[in-house]
Structure 1
Amino acid sequence: MVRDSEEIRWGIIGCGNVTELKSGPAFNKVAGSRLVAVMRRNREKLLDYAARHRVPKTYTSADDLINDPEIDAIYVATPPGSHREYALKIASANKHCCLEKPMALDFSECEDIVAAFAGREAQLFVAYYRRSLPRFNQVKEWIDGGRIGAIRHINWSYARAPSAADLSPEYDWRTDPAVSGGGHFVDLACHGLDLFIHLAGDIADAKGIAVNQQGLYDAEDAVSACWVFAGGATGAGFWNFAASDYNDEVVIYGSRGSIRFSVFADKPLLLEAGDDSATVAIAHPENIQYFHIDNMVKHLNGEGRHPVSAAEGGKASRVMDQILAGFR
């Protein structure tokens, strides 16, 4: 059951790579937060993780961790294919839940999860941590302050070469649609699409073309899409995972200026609006989910509102479903 306490005691289901630096350590760094338990099926890797991160409790069963009365909130850091199952169990236990992104395999599963938490004390979050990062808060401040006028269009170009995992014959869940929901597009593009929704409002409709150019795996590896925001602004993007060079650039065009930035790279933000221009460098924190976790704790203690709670977390999945409809 959810308890009334200033300290939030966390458990993690799936203590893999994403929790090593991006998230795991921050649960103990954030004020009013403590990581008390981790779960992984591989006991040897579980004990190694717990020892290195000084986590007192370990579980090889997710059900046992979920039902531990000393745990208030649970971070599900497993692949998307298991999110719905774990989230429904956590909701039934009336415990707070944070799901890794994307929220689930598709938007239908996201709706099931939101419905399970409806009317409960337990809160639901999704780890779209870019909404909490200071660098993107600066972008939102520029937009909300009218620095570029009304948003007219958002364009995102992303390209990279095949990864070592792509070229390896070894299994990679990230490119198994049954486990991940798609390929690298689903894994990475959801970050930017969610951020655009945060900056410019809901996306009313989206269309896309997806293909597999390399034949290295079953999922899409090249996607082109366009969309329209509820407020009338348009958007477009392409994502290619078979290119020679790396590129990651977003341009937000406004009626009076533009903003340029990278979704993933730690590059300066560029505001260009005539004489009202600026270049601002804001580094990523050591643990990139730190501010996201801090916002969850503040939300649960009534000290603020987390920007990705409940139904907000499924919006990017809805857009990706529309973009990939023809390929799937």
Structure 2
Amino acid sequence: MRSLLILLLVLQVHTDLAAQQLRVAVAGIDHGHVGWILGRKDKTDIQLAGVYSADTALAKRYAKRYGFSEDIIYSNLGKMLDAVKPQAVLAFGSIHSHLAVVEACAPRGIHVMVEKPLAVSVAHARKMEALAKQHNIHLLTNYETSWYPSVARSFQLVQDSNYVGQVRKVVIHDGHQGPKEIGCSPEFLAWLTDPVLNGGGALVDFGCYGANLMTHLMKGEKPIAVTAVTRHYKPSVYPKVEDDATIIVDYPEAQCIIQASWNWPFNRKDMEIYGDKGYVMAPDKNNILRRDPSGTVAEKVTATDIPVYEDPFLYLADVVNGKQNPETGLYALQNNLLVVRILEAAKESARTGKKVKL
């Protein structure tokens, strides 16, 4: 009798753990960030149920590298979704493929998280929005900077405590030496440097970070105009797309300068926020420098100091389970629809040499 009770208790624990797990599938594996989910160490809260890739040889290599079963690999997205029935799908293919993923998932009631940016164009973004609303699914966009404690602390100082006063100018730098220079895989480079599959080059790849952060800082306010200049410093390396971009986003009372580049001598993701009372600078993930009339203060912040999800998949799980409101914040659909509008206006400005009004 005692053995039976122990067995029943063990079965109940396993049942409870299974119920708490978020069942996910991966759609596309040719994005360099796919290792974030395939190589994720703690599998008790997220269950990887399926992996879709048209390149089965690549999928099998990844199965060996990351230690998942080849039995969960599918070469047809629809068949995978019907077979494994995930609660959410993580899109790790080209930006152009995001629409197809949502078209497959939304009618099945499956939530979607895509890697930044949301879409290659406003037309794609609007179709994705319509599908998400029609079928009542969450559609989130993941950025690395959304995990940064320094970003969360900067927002707290600016929006909650009014530390800097009225925001007037924001300068955001994102980029690195270049995707080829830092060793991105051939399958990643193939679409990242394609103007159709990626929607552009450095302007899209790194300009989206600044547009996302500024849209949140401005509480979703639409800019009045966007001006952009792109450069092609390395045409022999990136013949099809720009490798450097400067984007100026104008608001009635503020301005954002976004510098996106595949030409920095080092990797950088930093932000400077200037107001009429002070400033906040976030040079990296864990540090900020702030100044107001009382003087300059350097802070080191971690996820234990300020509430921030350092794991985007945990955030997704809490959204699906109703613990987080996805309508606000950096992952939000409305924020990222505006990001795509800013990027599209920037591309048009760079093409015509004129300011584009929104």
Q: What's the TM-score once normalised by structure 2's chain length?
A: 0.78
Q: Deviations over 1:268-321 (max 9, x none)?
A: 211111325432234699xx9843222221111111223323333222111011
- The residue number in structure 1 matching 2:247 is 225
Q: Which amino acid aligns with 1:228?
A: D
Q: Over aligned residue pairs, what C-alpha RMSD do you find?
A: 3.0
- The residue number in structure 2 matching 1:320 is 343
* 1:266–1:284 contact (8 Å) kept in structure 2: no
Q: Match of 1:177, SS?
A: coil
TM-superposed CA distance for 1:247, in Å, is 5.9
Q: Match of 1:259, SS?
A: strand
- The residue number in structure 1 matching 2:234 is 214
Identify, as 1 or 2, the structure richer in helix.
2
Go from structure 1 to structure 2 and tell me whether the alpha carbon gap of 1:241 and 1:284 turns closer, same or farther (over 3 Å shift): farther
TM-superposed CA distance for 1:237, in Å, is 3.1
Go from structure 1 to structure 2 and tell me whether the alpha carbon gap of 1:166 and 1:175 turns closer, same or farther (over 3 Å shift): farther
Q: 2:198 aligns with which of 180, 195, 199?
A: 180
Q: 2:51 aligns with which of 38, 41, 44?
A: 38
- The residue number in structure 2 matching 1:73 is 88
* 1:36–1:55 contact (8 Å) kept in structure 2: no
Go from structure 1 to structure 2 and tell me whether the alpha carbon gap of 1:261 and 1:134 turns closer, same or farther (over 3 Å shift): closer
Q: What's the TM-score once normalised by structure 1's chain length?
A: 0.84
Structure 1, 301-310 or 94-103: larger mean CA deviation: 301-310
Percentage identity across paired residues of the two chains: 16
TM-superposed CA distance for 1:254, in Å, is 0.9
Match status 1:274 vs 2:296 = no
* 2:23–2:46 contact (8 Å) kept in structure 1: yes
TM-superposed CA distance for 1:119, in Å, is 3.4
Q: Which amino acid aligns with 1:298?
A: D
Q: Which amino acid aligns with 1:222?
A: D
Query: What are the ranges of 5 or more consecutive residues in structure 1 without an aligned counterpart?
Result: none
Go from structure 1 to structure 2 and tell me whether the alpha carbon gap of 1:34 and 1:134 turns closer, same or farther (over 3 Å shift): farther
Match status 1:149 vs 2:171 = no
Q: Deviations over 1:228-271 (max 9, x none)?
A: 236x2112233343465766543210111101123xx4462111
Structure 1, 91-100 or 39-48: larger mean CA deviation: 39-48
Q: 2:277 aligns with which of 232, 242, 256?
A: 256
Give the aligned length: 316
TM-superposed CA distance for 1:126, in Å, is 1.2
Q: 1:118 aligns with which of 126, 129, 133?
A: 133
TM-superposed CA distance for 1:210, in Å, is 2.2
TM-superposed CA distance for 1:79, in Å, is 0.9
Higher relative contact order (CA 8 A, sep 6+): 1
Match status 1:200 vs 2:214 = no
- The residue number in structure 2 matching 1:61 is 76
- The residue number in structure 1 matching 2:117 is 102
Q: 1: CA distance between counterparts of 2:179 and 2:333?
A: 33
Structure 1, 74-83 or 127-136: larger mean CA deviation: 127-136
Q: Which amino acid aligns with 1:182?
A: G
Q: Which amino acid aligns with 1:177?
A: P
Bigger radius of gyration among the two: 2
Q: 2: CA distance between counterparts of 1:30 and 1:282?
A: 27
Q: Deviations over 1:114-154 (max 9, x none)?
A: 00111323221111343343221111111121111121111
Q: 2: CA distance between counterparts of 1:228 and 1:126?
A: 24
